[in-house]
Amino acid sequence: MELIFHGQSCVQLVTEGKSLLIDPFLNGNPLAVTKPEDIRTDAVLLTHAHGDHIADAEQIARSNHAPVIAIVELATYMSWKGIQTVGMNMGGTYDLGFAKAKMIQAFHSSGIVIEEEQRIMYAGMPAGYLIQAEGLTILHAGDTSLFSDMKMIGDRHAIDVAFIPIGGHYTMDPEDAVQAAKWYGAKLTIPIHYDTFPPIRQDAHAFVRALKQEGLTGKVLAPGEHIEVNA
C-alpha cells in the first residue's frame, strides 16, 4: 500500500490500483505541492466540515466520478452540489470493495461557515476513520482532541499506521498527541495538521523524537511525500 501525505490533514491511500482520499485541502494550502486537478481517486472521505478539510472535495469528487463519504449531515450537504455521496454515522463501516472504512469518534467542532449570510450551518459530528485494506489497518484521527477511548480503539484494533494531529490550537498539541500515540499503539505514527498556518506551527521532528523516547516509531512526511507499507 502506498500512503501519500498532501499537507494539513489530506492523506491518500493507494491499494491494488485503487485510491481513496481523505480531507482534500490543496487550493488555499500554502504548503501543498499537488493541485486538485492532478488527483486521481475512487473515493473521497471527509472527517468533518471545516474548510481546511472539504475545500476541494466537490471538485475532486466530480472530476473523478467518485463518491464522497461522510457523516450523514455533511454527506447530505455535499449531495446538494450534485455529486454522489454516502452518508454514514459513528461506528458504521462502509465497504468500498477495495477497502473498508469504519467511522470512529473525534472530539472537536464541525460546521460550515457561510460568510455572506454570517451564518454557521450544523454539519454533523466530527469523525476519524479506521481503514482496512491489504491486511493493514490505517487510522486517520481527524482534528481530534485527546480522549480516553483512544486506548479502547488501540486495544481493539492492531493499527499499522496512525495519522494524528499535533498542531495545537485547533487540535491536540504534541504533548497530547504523544499520549494519543501511546494509546493507539500503532506500528508507525505520522503527524498531520501542523505548520499550515501560524497558530499551528510545530516541530514535527521533535514530536517524532518524543515518540522514540516512549518506544514508539514516528515519521515526518513532507507534503507530496509518500511511503510504502506492507502487512
Counts of helices then strands in the chain (DSSP H, E): 6, 15
Per-residue model confidence as pLDDT tens digits over 128-151: 999 999 999 999 999 999 999 999
Q: How far apart are CA 185 and CA 126, in angstroms?
A: 22
How large is the average pLDDT for residues 88-115?
97
The four Cα atoms 14, 19, 24, 28 give a dihedral, to 10 degrees, of 70
Collect all residues with Cβ–Cβ distance below 8 Å to 136 and sequence separation of at least 6: 1, 160, 161, 229, 230, 231
Which residue ranges form the domains of the chain, and what is each CATH number?
2-222 (3.60.15.10)
The four Cα atoms 95, 226, 29, 172 give a dihedral, to 10 degrees, of 70
Confidence of residue 126 (pLDDT cuts 50, 70, 90): very high
Per-residue model confidence as pLDDT tens digits over 101-111: 999 999 999 99
Q: How far apart are CA 90 and CA 106, in angstroms?
A: 10
Amino acid found at 7:
G
- Residue 126 is placed in which grid cell? 466530527
- Residue 27 is placed in which grid cell? 487550493
Per-residue model confidence as pLDDT tens digits over 200-213: 999 999 999 999 99
Could you tell me the sign of the dihedral formed by the alpha carbons of 26, 220, 203, 174, in that order?
Answer: positive
Percent of the chain whose predicted confidence (pLDDT) is above 70: 100
The per-residue pLDDT for 176 is 98
User: pLDDT averaged over the chain?
Assistant: 97
Residue 17 burial (CB count, 10 A): 7
Confidence of residue 231 (pLDDT cuts 50, 70, 90): confident
Q: Which residues pair with 20 in a beta bridge?
A: 13, 43
Per-residue model confidence as pLDDT tens digits over 216-226: 999 999 999 99
How large is the average pLDDT for residues 147-168?
98
Confidence of residue 158 (pLDDT cuts 50, 70, 90): very high
Q: How far apart are CA 189 and CA 205, in angstroms?
A: 12
